[in-house]
Every structure is written in C-alpha cells, then in structure tokens.
A and B are shown apart, each in its own frame.
Chain A
Amino acid sequence: MTQPLTHHEAVPVGDSVLSLTGITKRFGAVQALTDVSLEVRPGEVVALVGDNGAGKSTLVKIISGVYQPDGGRIVFDGRPVAVHGPSDAQRLGIATVFQDLALCDNLDVVANLFLGQERATASILNEVEMEQEAWRLLRTLSAKIPSVRIPIASLSGGQRQTVAIARSLVGQPKVVLLDEPTAALGVAQTAEVLNLVERLRETGLGVILVSHNMADVQAVADRIVVLRLGRNAADFAVEEATTEELVAAITGASDNVVAERASRRTKPEDQDHE
C-alpha cells in the first residue's frame, strides 16, 4: 500500500488526503509556526517529531480546527478547505487525540467517548448502543478499564489516554492525529496503540503521529517530518534515516547534547571529542 518514498516533494499533491502548505501561526510575540508544510497520503503514517516547543501541538491544533492559522493553505481530499472550528474538522473526517487529552472529568467513559457525536434518536440519547460500541472500541485497544459507567476522573492516566485514543475511532475518520498518544501508557498498551496505528494504515487512513519516542516512531512510521523552532527542518523516509541523523535534525546540530552523551558512553575516557 505504501511505496518507499524519498522526499515528500516528490509526492504528487493529488495523491494526498491532507496537505498543508505555508502554514504560519503566531501567538503574540512568539512565532510558533513559519511556512510549515506537511502532507499525508491515505494509508500512510507520518511521524511529526521535534523538540519541546517546536510547534508540533500547534500544527495539530490548526489541522483539528482549534486554532486558526495566520496564513497558508489546507487541502483535504483534493479540495482546499477552511477549518473554522473543531466541528468542521470532525465533519471532514479528521479525528484528533490531543496531548492534554481534552476529556470531561465529570462525565463517564461512554459520555466522553461519544462527546459531540452522541448516538441519538430525535435528540434522545441511545445509551445502550453507545455502551455496546464503547466496549467494542475499548476491547480493540486491549483497554484495562473496570467500568464504562464510572466518571473518567477516577481512571488512571494511562486508562484516560486509552479512552482518548478510542475516542478518535468513533465515527468514520479519514485522517487521525495522535499527539503523543503513548506518553502515559504501559508496555502492553503502547504496543496496542502501535498495532492500532498499523491497522489504521491498513484500512487506508492517513495517520499523523507526534512522539518523542524514536523507537516507536521508527517502528511504525513511513515518513518522519522534523520541525525545529516552528519550521520544517527535515523530511525522511523512515528506512533512510538513522537515529543520529534524526537527533541531529531535531536539535539542529551534530555536536548536540544527545550525541555528546552517546559518545561519552561509548568512549568514557575521551573527554574532548571534537
């Protein structure tokens, strides 16, 4: 389904399900994004990496309609679109797991899963259908959740994250954005999420995965896009990038702290590694 790519400039635009060009966003004095481009094709997993504050979450929020970009073009399914709000994104088929999860602590698991897309007949909620579907979604993620009828506040951090991920599967999304989805997860649940990402790819969805975990990124991504200080820094096909190259692109230098630590470990006696 996915042929190996070299650089995304080579991908014909018509092929992509979501394509951003020239996106800029500024918060007061902070220029969070400058002329950022990003492209996802159906059945492709694009990892979005970068240091803290690089602008990854800002980009995710622009795609999901939470923020409005100051400039740039968003093309979805071959049509230029304006995402004025989260409901626009939802209607287009963009589902998002936010870094801060965005759950309602006072509502139970079922209510959170279907928030904004409740199953209802004539505005009367169909609780049974929603609960049944909730169990199905949670089981596909091997979720360890004692009850779907307890307030989300009484779940552990990882359980909450699982619920947030399950939420993105409600409805029929075409593109799924995952902003650090495995940050709080256990070993088994992380593996399930990575499996899920692969399953999403198999069903032909576009996936954008934000993560700081290079091992996870290299395990599931087809392409790795690096942001640095709000700009596109690099774009690798996953098999052509070594971890060192990635780290260099992320930090913007080959003599960076990460490389320094790595070299210190391999040759502890060599202090001066110019």
Chain B
Amino acid sequence: MSEATRTAAVAADLADERLIKNEGVGGFLSSQLNRLRSGDLGNLPVVLGLVIICIGFYLQNARFLSSRNLVSITQYAAPIGIIALGIVLILLLGEIDLSVGSVSGMAAAVMAVLMVNNGLSTTVAMLGGALVGLTVGLLYAALYIWIGIPSFVFSLAGLLGFQGVLLFVLGSTGTINLSKDSWLLEFTRFSFVTGWQSYAIVALIVLVYLGTEWRVTVRRTAAGLTPPWWPLVIVKAAAIAVGLGLLTWYVNIDRGFSYLWWLFFGLVVVVDYALRRTRWGRHVYAVGGNEEAARRSGIKVNRVYVSVFVLTSLFAAFGGLLAAGLQTSVSQATGTTDTNLTAIAAAVIGGTSLFGGRGTAWAALMGVLVLQAITSGLNLAGVESEVRFMVTGAVLIIAVGIDSLSRRARSSSGSG
C-alpha cells in the first residue's frame, strides 16, 4: 500500500482533477472564500461582532478596554459560559433546555444549604449540588426517551418547577451567605494566574497546537495523504503566541486572567476535543444532523440523548455553583430568567445552529464574551438593565438571523 502511494505522483486525496486545490496563499484564501459563499460562516460573524462591540464601547469610554475591566469581563463570563457550553451540546442535537438557569440556581441553593445549614465541607456540598444536575439530566432523558415529551415543554416546566424548588430549599431566610473561609470563594473571587505561570500556559497552548499538527503531518504523510500546509500552521501558531501573549501581558498589568476563566477555557478545549475527535462526538453530530440515518447506522441514539441531557444539566449545575461562589451568596433571584436566557443566547450568538448538527464548543466562549462585554460596556456607560435587555434581544435576533440566512445560502448553493 505505502509503496504504491509513494510511487504515485500525487497523494490519494488530490488525484481527482476537479478537486479545488488549497495549496499556497491564494489557494487558502480562495478556499476560505468559497466556504463563506456556500453559507458556512463558522465563527466569523461573532468575531466581527465582538470587535465592533469592543471598538464601540472603547470610543464611548476608554476604561472599557482597561486591563482591570478585561479581567472582570472574563471572570464574570466564565460561570455563564460553562452553562452555555451545555446549551451548545443540546442544541447540537436540535433540542433545547430552557431550564438551565433554574437548575443552576437550585444546585447552588442545595450546595449553600448543605454547606451553611448542615456544616458540610465545601467539596461535599458541591458534590451535592452536582448530584442535583445529574438527577435533572436523567429525569429529562427519561421524559424524552420513554414518554416522548418535546424538550421545549419539559424544560419549560423545569424552568418554573425548579425555581419553586429553589425558593423551597432556601426557606424563610431567602438568602444564604456562603462561609467566607470556603475555598470556593477563594477560588472564584481571588485566584488569578500571573507572572511566569501565565506565559507558561500560553507556551503550552502553542506547543500542543504545533505538536498536534506535527503528529498529523507524520501520520498523513505515512498514509500517502496530503499533510497540513506548514506555512499556514506556522502563521497560525505565531498568531496564537503573539495574540495570546500580548493579551496575557496586558491583563497581567491588573491581576491577570482568573482561575475561573482558565477553568472555563480548559472545559471548552476538552468539550471541543470530545466533539471533534471521539466516537461520542461524532455520534452527537450525526444524531443532530439526521437522527434516522444515525439510528440506521447502528448508533445507540438513546444513549447519545442521555449523555447530552445529563451533561447539559451537569454543566448548568456546575456553572451555578461557581456563580454562587462569585456572588458569595445564594438568593431567591439566583439563576432566574436572566441566567437562563443569557446562557441560551450566548450559545446561539456564538454560532450554534438552532436547527441541530452545526456548531462548536467555541461558540459558548465567543457568545458569552459578546454578552458579558455588552453588559460591562453598558454598565460603564451608566445605563440601566432595561437597555441591556433590549440590546441583548437585538443581538440575539441578529445572530439567529445570520444562522437562518446562512442556512438559506447553504440550500441555494446545493449544500443544504
């Protein structure tokens, strides 16, 4: 096999003469352009949106892009971002969970009661909160698979019901303050990565990227397939190194990126890897794209649903615990409509299709950054939350509009 391919003049995947070659700079640009034209916008709209928002608020108030503000934007974006990560997963299946906010609030309340009223350790109390998420996920999966209730309906019921549970668990006091000496508060509020450690993380990211591409190159060459185009790999690696390095240097002027932000970042990387490189992820996309085809391929469709419902609720609960740590307390307003809609909006704004099967874990990160930037910018401008709601609503409509338009472009370019 390898002998035959080595003697062949071209690699197996370039043998077709109608293949659009993407060698060289021109080839790369034209292939990117073709992709956009066929309606595959990727994360271009959200990146552009984020840039426009940043420039706009910066012109309004230069403090928006101050080191201090960037640190707090990323820190406060992280818990909601983790909830949005779960939403990305469930949207990939073409389903929805409207109750993530309520689940996050309920998990936080359970943790607070276990920690403060029952005197359990932070870790045990957090496990209790996570157990709440696990239970909700299993319950949803059962309702979906056994009874066939649409996810829209049972998660709407969950939105109301679990908010009731939150009030019930909190009891007459209404607000529970977490103990000041809990490591959760220390971790979420006062832990930042600065100095050489922060640059070590950047270097690690670049090295992992280069290492992966190197491995791919070796294996593809051995298999007689075209390897990645290294000039592009180098340019990308350099862009990551310089961009992330400068950003790290800039936020290090203040406190540096929070542990919370890096935790969120790490989760996005892990989920992204699981979606793109594992059997499970492949099956998630398949079920979201064409459930019947997935079933006929022998995929255990129900297992995919169970895993995703459970993960979505677990991420919601985990996000809720971290948010409670950041707020230092759990109150009757914890995880109400605001959290729900922000998390869902973030996933959609980040570029996850509502129609299933399209989107990546990075959508959660980009989307939540956009929303947190808007919140922060409007706060700096001294605008009240009514305007924030209106702006968020408008951004959401724009994001869904872009999704629908690109879907139409896909079908008219024959790739729908």
Q: How large is the interface on B (under 10, 10 to 19, 20 to 34, 35 or more residues)?
A: 35 or more
Cα(A87)–Cα(B300), bound, Å: 8
B410 touches A146 (CB 8 A): no
A104 touches B285 (CB 8 A): yes
A contacts with B: majority SS = loop
Find chain B residues with CB under 8 A from A144 CB: 16, 18
- A120-B279, A124-B278 as given contacts; A146 in contact with B299, CB under 8 Å: no
- A116-B298, A116-B299, A135-B13 as given contacts; A129 in contact with B223, CB under 8 Å: yes
A sample of 9 inter-chain contacts (CB < 8 A) reads A101-B293, A104-B293, A105-B290, A106-B288, A123-B278, A129-B223, A135-B225, A146-B18, A153-B415
B285 touches A87 (CB 8 A): no
A131 touches B279 (CB 8 A): no
Contact with A along B248-287 (1 / 0, CB 8 A): 0000000000000000000000000000011110100110
Find chain B residues with CB under 8 A from A120 CB: 278-279
Contact with B along A114-134 (1 / 0, CB 8 A): 011110100111011101100
Q: Which of A14-41 contact B (CB under 8 A)?
A: none
Q: What's the minimum C-beta distance from A40 to chain B, rounded to whole angstroms?
A: 20
A132 touches B290 (CB 8 A): no
Find chain B residues with CB under 8 A from A151 CB: 40, 415
Q: Is A107's CB within 8 Å of the partner chain B?
A: yes
* B interface with A by C-beta (< 8 Å): 12-13, 15-16, 18-20, 38, 40, 216, 219-220, 223-225, 277-280, 282, 285-286, 288-290, 292-300, 357-358, 410, 413-416
* A interface with B by C-beta (< 8 Å): 64, 66, 85-87, 89-90, 96, 98, 101-107, 111, 115-118, 120, 123-125, 127-129, 131-132, 135-136, 144-149, 151, 153-154, 156
Find chain A residues with CB under 8 A from B16 CB: 144-147
Cα(A120)–Cα(B283), bound, Å: 13
Q: Top 3 nearest A-B pairs by Cβ distance? A: A116-B297, A154-B415, A87-B298
Which of A103, A124, A156 sits near B293, CB closer than 8 Å?
A103
Cα(A156)–Cα(B19), bound, Å: 14
- A104-B289, A144-B16 as given contacts; A131 in contact with B225, CB under 8 Å: yes
Q: What's the minimum C-beta distance from B217 to chain A, rounded to whole angstroms?
A: 11
A102 touches B286 (CB 8 A): no
- A66-B296, A86-B295, A144-B16 as given contacts; A106 in contact with B285, CB under 8 Å: yes
Find chain B residues with CB under 8 A from A156 CB: 414
Find chain A residues with CB under 8 A from B282 CB: 107, 111, 115, 118, 125
Cα(A104)–Cα(B284), bound, Å: 11
Q: What's the minimum C-beta distance from A140 to chain B, rounded to whole angstroms?
A: 13
Which of B219, B292, B297 sits near A115, CB closer than 8 Å?
B297
A115 touches B277 (CB 8 A): no
Cα(A116)–Cα(B296), bound, Å: 9
A104 touches B294 (CB 8 A): yes
